[in-house]
Structure 1
């Protein structure tokens, strides 16, 4: 029988020299227990042999329906004074906590806890980095929906339609077909707006001759894909056509290097070098990609030229997203989601990557 996520964390407590670990991050609580506790509505306490959710009466019914052999729940009117009581009763002398907690919460814990408090940086996030087969299947489902959403949106793009309208159409379509929410504000950037890597959808109308970048991520069953495609609306500037080919070649060059053990800076160099050799080094001003899963930015948070400490591990899922952004003209970014395994790699996002021209 494989150890559960909670058991894996419990097994580590003695090596970390703590008696228990306090989890307050909503996504980490969901990852460990499968229970969706909104941020700030309580916590999960992991001890050597128990997992305790402490929350308030609003969650009473949901917890009664929550079927778990591992997790016990207690309803509280003062989460952290109850945490102190539990720690006293269970003789917890050293309590680990996440470095991502607010200063306000740290201040409160520091004041009321008699246990020693020890910070840990991204302990659960490092577990989340390595996906099991169920998680990969969910990410594949999410990616498939993104591919379908992109195909749907292609039929809606024409001169005269606004960026915001396209973003709204996509949002509605994705949610009607199984997505629960966007994992970041959808980017629909046309013409000169496409030169801004983080442009959001504006009132600008799409014009004939525009390049159009679509970058979106949606949660499906808790997991999010993250996909970018750039298309042409009619005939585009020849420089943008060239930039498109360079970016697409760079994307493939990076994907070809994806394997267990490769370093983040080596991966980045495989694509960045091609962009630099083409004379666009200054026009590629962000990292090559990042991890995805229950959040749109998971570990590795980013990999780029300085990411020598990032080493790909088995069953990690990352994005590959080179771009070229030419001020006053437009930009190109193409992004795929990739699973790295000992048996090779798998690209989850299967939407076409050759330049698609609409509205001709």
Structure 2
């Protein structure tokens, strides 16, 4: 059964006559056709899947090898969709709550069908990967491991954060990645104490800590890898914090399996950090899902995520961190496949403390 067919089977249980998919990633997930965000929509009824876009995509649709999806070329996306609904007598239309208010306002003005919000319907399906998706995520993780090895060979005092990020971006794209799934983080010295540091012109100095956090799409799927290294011999506190973060990472990974509770997973690592007196210096969740985007369900798991239950073939990150303002930060992140019997760590870059001489 295809992804569209599974969705069509759900329509009656949701009391929907049709579903309007406007999120470009969800359209790709369901059809395999790439649209730029805002360049069309996918209408799914009980018997049809109609990709509504404009003549910029006409040739691509003619070359699109599928009999499951029908293309409709128009400049009036939503007016044409309303006509389709009226002709078929479809009176209840589900829509994704991720669409903008501007688009919702258009739908509310145009549609004669009743509009029903659908939250996370396709995203829930995306969370559980099939075997082909898992293979792509493994390949993405492997390339990120190789990129980290490349970075170890270029990191040195005098090189700016921006220069490192630029070289990483070039290397990834030269080796099969298409684009970054989020702006890479290269945070040196005190900048490493900022969990979401932006790349700066600051030059790496001897004795600095450097946090490297990056994710790139490879064949449509993204990995997400973070490692923290020392450029020159670090002090005792850094070594202590590094070992603590690494122990927390491993403690969480050991608890990962289908059915595991998000808050309990988080606690497995966070309690170690809190017991060592650094609880206030760990200010974010323990991880999140990844796949076609860098934040998939579960969007985050942390102390309050008691409703999160991991499912077979989800891929999540594990990324504890400790951040000491003005001094340094440490974050270590792995990507992990959830299985019925436990887990499989997809990222294999070394996690022991690396001191670059």
- TM-score by length of structure 2 reads 0.99
Return the alpha-carbon distance in structure 1 between the equivalents of residues 316 and 47 of structure 2.
34
Residue 47 of structure 1, CA deviation:
0.3
Residue from 89, 93, 103 that aligns with 2:101: 103
Deviation at 1:305, TM superposition (A): 0.2
Residues 207-218 of structure 1: matches in 2 within 5 Å?
207-218=205-216
SS in 1 for 2:11: helix
Gaps of 5+ in 1: none
CA distance in 2, matches of 1:344, 1:278: 28
Q: Secondary structure at the match of 2:307?
A: coil
Deviations 1:252-278 (A, max 9, x none): 000000011111000000000000011
Aligned-pair CA distance for 1:34: 0.2
Q: 2:258, 2:341 within 8 Å by CA — same for their partners in 1?
A: no
Deviation at 1:236, TM superposition (A): 1.3
Match of 1:177 among 149, 160, 175: 175
Query: What secondary structure is seen at the aligned counterpart in 2 of 1:200?
Result: coil
Q: Could you report, residue by residue, the CA deviation over 1:225-268 in whole angstroms, capped at 9, with x for unpaired residues?
A: 00000000001121111100000000000000001111100000
Q: Give me the whole-angstrom Cα distance separating, in 1, the residues matched to 2:292 and 2:171.
A: 21
Q: Secondary structure at the match of 1:155?
A: helix
SS at match of 1:128: helix
Q: 1:188 aligns with which of 163, 186, 189?
A: 186
**Matched residue of 2:350: which SS?**
coil
Which residue, 239, 250, 258 being the options, matches 1:260?
A: 258
Map residues 38-53 of structure 1 onto 2, 5 A cutoff: 38-53=36-51
Report the CA distance between 1:344 and its aligned residue: 2.2
Q: What secondary structure does 2:86 align onto?
A: helix
Look up the match of 1:225. Answer: 223
SS in 1 for 2:105: helix
1:83 equivalent among 63, 81, 99: 81
SS at the partner of 1:192?
Answer: helix
Q: CA deviation at 1:69?
A: 1.9
Which residue of the other structure, out of 284, 297, 300, is the alignment partner of 1:299?
Answer: 297
Q: What CA distance in whole angstroms lies between the structure 1 residues aligned with 2:94 and 2:143?
A: 39
User: Which stretches of structure 1, 4 residues or more, deviate above 3 A after TM superposition?
Assistant: none
- Distance in 2, matches of 1:343 and 1:303, equals 20
Corresponding residue for residue 128 of structure 2: 130
Deviations, residues 49-89 of structure 1 (Å, cap 9, x unaligned): 11000000000110011101210001002111101100011
2:69 alignment counterpart: 71
Q: Which consecutive unaligned segments of at least 5 residues does structure 2 have?
A: none
**Corresponding position of 1:275:** 273
The corresponding residue for 1:20 is 18
Q: 2:325 aligns with which of 324, 327, 332?
A: 327
Please state whether the residue corresponding to 2:352 is helix, strand or coil: coil
SS of the residue aligned with 1:301?
A: strand
Pick the aligned partner of 1:343 from 312, 320, 341.
341
Q: Report the alpha carbon displacement of residue 343 of structure 1 after superposing the two structures with TM.
A: 2.8
Cα deviation code 1:151-203 (max 9, x no counterpart): 00110000010001000000000000000000000000000000000002110
Paired residue secondary structure (2:57)? helix
Distance 2:40 2:316 in 1: 31
How many residue pairs align between the two structures?
A: 357
2:245 touches 2:321 (CA, 8 Å); kept in 1?
yes
Root mean square deviation of aligned Cα: 0.6
TM-score (norm 1): 0.99
Q: Secondary structure at the match of 2:36?
A: coil
3-state DSSP of counterpart to 2:129: coil
State the partner residue of 1:148.
Answer: 146
Instruction: Summarize the alignment of residues 234-249 of structure 1 with structure 2, pairs less than 5 Å apart.
Output: 234-249=232-247
- Partner SS, residue 202 of structure 1: coil
